[in-house]
Structure 1
């Protein structure tokens, strides 16, 4: 073991890393025979300078007969991952990504067994950055980091990672598999729900549901269930899945998510009593899926949607009528609900405290008048409330330096995305596996046409046209496995 440690120290420089990697890969017998000395050997290595060797030592230590949880392993692994995000360390660990993320997942296993998931959040966040060649590349550790953040209720700890748009999956560089993409979307969507970022949550959950697949899996089913609930809360109705959603995924969600589709149908009816009945009928299912809290938010959001629709129809309305239209118990509950909606900027309204009448203000007028103030003042004559968020003055949202800068940033992102799409198209068009599939398919068209046509060239063209309706997406077919 001393000789192996000496080799790690001597070869941990950019010129000898290839030799060090070969040495470590061929040292399984050394690690097995000296397993009891691995923990002590880690103390002789610097995790920032000897990152490749440190990762192998941690990996073999975790593979052995190690008690879970082990405090020493947690300390050594945390020390390593917190120091591995330097350029020198990242260059070393990317030579053996499978060893690196294997050790990181063992750390997650140990902190979960110790009932302290918070201890693994910062180390895994550092590990994600070290493993990423670029910020837009997915790694196998994204889902693990998000899971620890959810379990420790540190929803903002991963925001710097979650806010990055994932545009590339590089399995050769990071070791990603399809399950890693599904877990990233699922746990990332849950983090966005916890942070009340519903548009981003819908984007991630929909990405999980519509990812190319040849078989359904439990992660997709769970993502669709949360997608339905977030749609109802944020959009006020179920947004239909795109046409390119895989047929096998549609089959899974039709069989696994029937209670959620029934809830969406009840929500669409705008009948509060029916919605409550459906929610009560499937309470056990929603609780088993850990979605009962979201379902309660769905039920509560129906009253908000009903009141918002009233603002589009009426200028004034009594609190009693609002309670009747929104399915609320009485005028007091309607007043409390309107107060919360105005404070959140969802509506603009003025309540007369003496008569119990509510006057709904147009958003444009409210934004330019005194009602646009976010403060609320109560007097004997009534209560005047205003929702913020309007643009003061008659100009548009771009009549400021900040608005122009935001527009410029949006345009830059659009141009960058167009460039990436062009690069992806060129890469696929030059892929040998894809080209061989296309060539074989075209050859089979003409072979079938020639064998089935009795009129020479005309028969061949006719046969090719008949087969041309079939589509093959080549290397893009992805099979998603795994379970929650």
Structure 2
């Protein structure tokens, strides 16, 4: 244990200045294996350090301390220790050890949500930067069912990403949070980013995202197109469908509008959907087909009785039809009124005239975001255009295809 005591002494002596922190970071990286081999005995040494002064060293010891299984009786104590460190640590020090920002759930995800959010705000250079903690935070929010808390980071525009895997997980977990909030349009955006992101080998995250993308498309749009955008990687275009055959078959059954056939298919593949933890979404797909069939009726009829709707859409009773219609009116999926006396439904036109103050403000906000994005893209384009590695690669490629504007002048022939 003398070696560990020496490391602790160096942490206490080299945490005072920026110049010393570089040397301390080097020492800690060299001592990482030593600390992990003594992980079970690091508790007393942590008590000797102040996380608000010795943040970098405290982080290395804490990471080593939690690298081995924590006994159940100590779990609450360790959670409090981690929370105390996150709340009091110095952002400038812990950013040096970006490879150590890991979360410990310890069967108490609710208790980790707030400290994790604090940690993200401390270590990220700006709100536009995606850190390795973002996916962990969103995962905690899902485990704790704190979906609205996840919006704290999901509503930030992200332009800087360090690791591709972080982006995949961020979009996948973010899509799950939006699904939990029934905001299927936003969920589609994030799942679409996972499926179409550049990849050299097929990612398991992309496969799971594609399954949910199919289901959410059916729920939100009432249809699914199996054609990939042109910018999708060739790996994804070749392989994704092979791993999602029953989901593609589900989409085909859905498009037919045959409710009985769809329900039979779902029951026949129930175990597979449950194994993927997607049975809840599949049930919403089945429920949504009733709504899609009701929406089709609005394109044909101006008025229709609840009894006729129930018969046409294959619902069990006019009362069930009424509940579906009321829910669709509340969600803004259709515009209609129900006459309770005679049970007649009158379908109406969309009342939105797109000239209210709220709509104008919404459009202005969208335009400002597009302008900001355009400026970001221009800045990135200029940065890449000046990058020596990019210019060197482009130069090599150009040599293969760069020909003179004119053919060489033919030799003069004597006639």
Structures share a fold, TM > 0.5? Answer: yes
The residue matched to 2:148 in structure 1 has which SS? coil
2:62 aligns with 58
Q: Does 1:73 align with 2:78?
A: yes
Q: Does 1:41 align with 2:42?
A: no
Equivalent residue runs for 1:204-283 within 5 Å: 204-239=190-225, 240-283=227-270
The residue matched to 2:66 in structure 1 has which SS? helix
1:418, distance to aligned residue in structure 2 (A): 0.9
Q: Does 1:159 align with 2:115?
A: no
Separation in structure 1 between the aligned mates of residue 240 and residue 36 of structure 2, nearest angstrom: 46
1:260, distance to aligned residue in structure 2 (A): 0.9
- Alignment partner of 1:128 out of 120, 130, 135: 120
Question: Do 2:188 and 2:213's aligned partners in 1 also have CA atoms closer than 8 Å?
Answer: yes
Question: Do 1:229 and 1:295's aligned partners in 2 also have CA atoms closer than 8 Å?
Answer: yes
Task: Pick closer, same or farther for the CA change 1:342–1:277 going to 2, 3 Å.
Answer: same
- Alignment partner of 2:8 out of 5, 22, 34: 5
Separation in structure 1 between the aligned mates of residue 31 and residue 234 of structure 2, nearest angstrom: 47
1:237, distance to aligned residue in structure 2 (A): 0.9
Q: Does 1:90 align with 2:46?
A: no
1:31, distance to aligned residue in structure 2 (A): 3.5
Aligned residue pair count:
402
Task: Pick closer, same or farther for the CA change 1:339–1:410 going to 2, 3 Å.
Answer: closer
1:322, distance to aligned residue in structure 2 (A): 1.1
Deviations along 1:279-314, one digit per CA (max 9) or x if unpaired, are 223222111111111111111111111112212221
Task: Pick closer, same or farther for the CA change 1:458–1:261 going to 2, 3 Å.
Answer: farther
Q: Does 1:293 align with 2:296?
A: no
Separation in structure 2 between the aligned mates of residue 398 and residue 409 of structure 1, nearest angstrom: 15
Q: Does 1:138 align with 2:130?
A: yes
2:395 aligns with 439
Please list every run of 5 or more consecutive structure 2 residues that lacks an aligned counterpart in the other structure.
411-415
Q: Does 1:190 align with 2:176?
A: yes
Q: Does 1:428 align with 2:384?
A: yes
The residue matched to 1:165 in structure 2 has which SS? coil
2:321 aligns with 334
Separation in structure 2 between the aligned mates of residue 32 and residue 204 of structure 1, nearest angstrom: 37
Task: Pick closer, same or farther for the CA change 1:9–1:406 going to 2, 3 Å.
Answer: farther
Q: Does 1:199 align with 2:203?
A: no
Task: Pick closer, same or farther for the CA change 1:290–1:32 going to 2, 3 Å.
Answer: closer
Deviations along 1:246-275, one digit per CA (max 9) or x if unpaired, are 221122221111111111112222222222
Task: Pick closer, same or farther for the CA change 1:445–1:411 going to 2, 3 Å.
Answer: closer
Q: Does 1:320 align with 2:324?
A: no
1:379 aligns with none
Deviations along 1:176-219, one digit per CA (max 9) or x if unpaired, are 3x222211111111011001111111111000000011211211
Separation in structure 2 between the aligned mates of residue 137 and residue 336 of structure 1, nearest angstrom: 44
Equivalent residue runs for 1:353-364 within 5 Å: 353-364=340-351
Deviations along 1:54-102, one digit per CA (max 9) or x if unpaired, are 1111122234x55455424333222212333xxxx11111111112x2x
Separation in structure 1 between the aligned mates of residue 70 and residue 116 of structure 2, nearest angstrom: 21
Separation in structure 2 between the aligned mates of residue 31 and residue 269 of structure 1, nearest angstrom: 62
Task: Pick closer, same or farther for the CA change 1:363–1:51 going to 2, 3 Å.
Answer: same
The residue matched to 1:244 in structure 2 has which SS? coil
Question: Do 2:338 and 2:344's aligned partners in 1 also have CA atoms closer than 8 Å?
Answer: yes
Separation in structure 2 between the aligned mates of residue 327 and residue 436 of structure 1, nearest angstrom: 65
The range that moved more, 202-211 or 339-348, is: 339-348
Equivalent residue runs for 1:332-481 within 5 Å: 332-364=319-351, 390=352, 397-400=354-357, 403-445=359-401, 457=408
The residue matched to 1:358 in structure 2 has which SS? strand
The residue matched to 1:350 in structure 2 has which SS? strand
Task: Pick closer, same or farther for the CA change 1:273–1:28 going to 2, 3 Å.
Answer: closer
Equivalent residue runs for 1:104-115 within 5 Å: 104-105=102-103, 107-108=104-105, 111=106, 115=107
Question: Do 2:36 and 2:65's aligned partners in 1 also have CA atoms closer than 8 Å?
Answer: no
Separation in structure 1 between the aligned mates of residue 32 and residue 165 of structure 2, nearest angstrom: 29
The residue matched to 1:351 in structure 2 has which SS? strand
Higher relative contact order (CA 8 A, sep 6+): 1
Question: Do 1:125 and 1:158's aligned partners in 2 also have CA atoms closer than 8 Å?
Answer: no
Task: Pick closer, same or farther for the CA change 1:234–1:47 going to 2, 3 Å.
Answer: same
The range that moved more, 310-319 or 209-218, is: 310-319
2:413 aligns with none
The residue matched to 1:133 in structure 2 has which SS? coil
The residue matched to 1:126 in structure 2 has which SS? helix
Deviations along 1:109-159, one digit per CA (max 9) or x if unpaired, are xx1xxx322222222222222221111111122222222221222212222
1:405, distance to aligned residue in structure 2 (A): 4.4
Question: Do 1:221 and 1:252's aligned partners in 2 also have CA atoms closer than 8 Å?
Answer: no
1:2, distance to aligned residue in structure 2 (A): 4.7
The residue matched to 1:213 in structure 2 has which SS? coil
1:223, distance to aligned residue in structure 2 (A): 0.1
Q: Does 1:306 align with 2:306?
A: no
